Chain A
């Protein structure tokens, strides 16, 4: 056992060296027309070695370290040792906490920088996306790798409607969501009989088709150049720009007699995203308690059993796809408005993967977990800007660690009326 551990540890350390040294240590530099390869400075080399030693030590004493972590309270999996807590008391605490967070979130943007509010808007967009995908993957158990397509449908619906027909944000919001839902329904039909990996591949293909279509239908979508000049949302006809763009509208700062500030628009968009995120969470929560929500779970748990109880596979699957897609459409519209410019670039497979990662990290099916994960996954890379090249690396490492420690996610789903008992 010990010898085996040692060999394994040595192997891991060497792999670390082999991977880390060329990535961190070697630089290609352009001098005139030549490219020269320069070695690393001593500091980097030392750091690489230290990293290898750490990997070596960790692998050598892995069993011991894992044991220590397992015995830490709170990291225990499955809640096997949690005392049953009165269900309604916990629900009450939970709803108080959530209300508190929402109230904080309402006032918070007035005290922070414009950049933070902008980032927070992005976080909220991801929250909406992840909550929507959570219906499909977490609740209904349908692995959808092309979710970003519905996001794209929402965003492009708004962009195209505003470009060609001058439709405003508020009208485009429901249209975008409904159109995305329609796409969800249409995609649902061919994949009704598929499950697991096959479903994943088909949805992946669908996501790519939409993106490639947007990329190549140049006459309509502008192709890779994207669509710009997407208008900001208005507040009862008040615009947030310095000058009013559309006739008949007034500007926000003049109406209220305050000085123009760019922040107003950012904060307004943030508040819209916040309201939509709360709306999404509430609506989906409602669905979860309704029969359709229970049917999703039955389908996820065992399709044959669900059908034997008289549930219609068609209706259950299509409802999950459609509702999931609907909220992606919401998110897409907000995103288009926030960016003011969209191109197929924003809707690559990586986006689907990130949203899926959020759902998995958060604990499939659990809303609070998914919201926390959305915040973490969006904000952490921003905080670690200096390491931006290693973003995906850190991301991957975080995923691996999560799967080792908490395979069930940050906050595993708890069904509404379960009490945990010791015997689990």
Chain B
């Protein structure tokens, strides 16, 4: 589905990614874990073409998107839930969701809207509330819902558990599992290594711009080094 092949990404002169390769197969959940500043967000943003990778290749469903403009990438069946949620604060929940289906037809929007409300009944209750006034957890649900509105084949999530209570995190991870069961490919970036790896089919560990390890989720969870560094021993 998504192949990232040995990419380097620069912010000005600083190189943030030093040759990263990641592969996400159709129907999988792949988790990427790593410390702060490892370059996780940078990797996701490179996939979205902002900033573009300076070398290497990125293929989405076999198509080279390394130098495609962001707007075009984001319209080709892939959706991202950006770091820090980034809902439209002044718009209502419903309007936020409508924005998510910006390039879809009315009937498609209606269908995806019902689907999102089914996944997150909480959003339905808050339909007319302004997104900026909602709690962090609700905003995260909204951000995920908005990404789903375009009916993507693949969804990328950047730290969806950031700053949320354990019970909400559990709910969100459950939904992510549900998305996979519906056939959506998931690429998940997390600090919350334990939950991210338990859910994932496969996992990658990113350290200062390089992939350090790559294995199935189960094996990574059992790996003593990983336990030491990311799971608190």
Spell out A's residues near B (CB within 8 Å).
291, 294-295, 297-298, 300-302, 304-313, 315, 415, 417-419, 421, 423-424
Residues on A with C-beta less than 8 A from B147 are 308
Tell me the complex Cα distance, A297–B75, Å: 19
The answer to whether B146 touches A309, judged by C-beta atoms less than 8 angstroms apart, is: yes
Which of B1-9, B10-18, B93-101, B197-205 makes up part of the contact surface? B93-101
CB distance from B154 to the nearest CB of A (A): 14
A-B contact pairs, 8 of them (CB 8 A): A294-B99, A307-B50, A308-B147, A309-B74, A310-B75, A310-B102, A415-B95, A421-B128
Candidate in A297, A304, A305, A424 with the most chain B CB atoms within 10 angstroms = A305
The answer to whether A294 touches B88, judged by C-beta atoms less than 8 angstroms apart, is: no
Tell me the complex Cα distance, A311–B70, Å: 9
Tell me the complex Cα distance, A146–B88, Å: 28
Tell me the complex Cα distance, A307–B70, Å: 7
CB distance from A422 to the nearest CB of B (A): 11
CB distance from B135 to the nearest CB of A (A): 13
The residue that B82 contacts in the complex, of A295, A305, A310, with Cβ under 8 A, is: A305
Tell me the complex Cα distance, A133–B71, Å: 26
Residues on B with C-beta less than 8 A from A300 are 90
Candidate in A301, A306, A313, A423 with the most chain B CB atoms within 10 angstroms = A301
The residue that B133 contacts in the complex, of A310, A311, A424, with Cβ under 8 A, is: A424
Residues on B with C-beta less than 8 A from A315 are 71
**Closest 9 pairs (CB-CB, A-B):** A310-B74, A301-B88, A312-B71, A310-B75, A305-B86, A308-B80, A302-B86, A298-B99, A308-B82
Residues on A with C-beta less than 8 A from B74 are 307-310
Q: Could you give, for residues 102-144 of chain B, a 1 whenever the CB lies within 8 Å of some chain A CB and a 0 otherwise?
A: 1100000000000000000000000011100100000000000
Tell me the complex Cα distance, A308–B73, Å: 9
- In the complex with contacts A291-B102, A310-B102, A419-B128, A305-B88 CB distance below 8 A: yes
Q: Report how many residues on chain B are interfacial, defined by Cβ distance under 8 Å.
A: 33
Tell me the complex Cα distance, A297–B73, Å: 21
The answer to whether A304 touches B86, judged by C-beta atoms less than 8 angstroms apart, is: yes
The residue that B69 contacts in the complex, of A302, A309, A312, with Cβ under 8 A, is: A312
The answer to whether A302 touches B128, judged by C-beta atoms less than 8 angstroms apart, is: no
Residues on B with C-beta less than 8 A from A298 are 88, 99, 102
Residues on B with C-beta less than 8 A from A417 are 94-95
Tell me the complex Cα distance, A305–B129, Å: 19
- In the complex with contacts A302-B86, A309-B146, A424-B129, A418-B80 CB distance below 8 A: no
B211 contacts A by Cβ under 8 Å: no
Residue of A nearest to B101 (CB): A309
B150 contacts A by Cβ under 8 Å: yes
The residue that B89 contacts in the complex, of A291, A302, A308, A313, with Cβ under 8 A, is: A302
B31 contacts A by Cβ under 8 Å: no
CB distance from A233 to the nearest CB of B (A): 41
Residues on B with C-beta less than 8 A from A309 are 74, 79, 99-100, 102, 146, 150
The answer to whether B91 touches A311, judged by C-beta atoms less than 8 angstroms apart, is: no
Residues on A with C-beta less than 8 A from B161 are none
Residue of A nearest to B75 (CB): A310
Tell me the complex Cα distance, A423–B128, Å: 9
Residue of A nearest to B130 (CB): A424
Residues on B with C-beta less than 8 A from A295 are 102
Tell me the complex Cα distance, A291–B102, Å: 7
Residue of A nearest to B76 (CB): A310
Residues on A with C-beta less than 8 A from B185 are none
Residues on A with C-beta less than 8 A from B193 are none
The answer to whether A294 touches B103, judged by C-beta atoms less than 8 angstroms apart, is: no
Residue of B nearest to A303 (CB): B86
CB distance from A289 to the nearest CB of B (A): 12
Tell me the complex Cα distance, A311–B100, Å: 10
Tell me the complex Cα distance, A313–B50, Å: 12
B92 contacts A by Cβ under 8 Å: yes
B87 contacts A by Cβ under 8 Å: yes
B176 contacts A by Cβ under 8 Å: no
Residues on A with C-beta less than 8 A from B29 are none
CB distance from A291 to the nearest CB of B (A): 7
CB distance from A368 to the nearest CB of B (A): 19
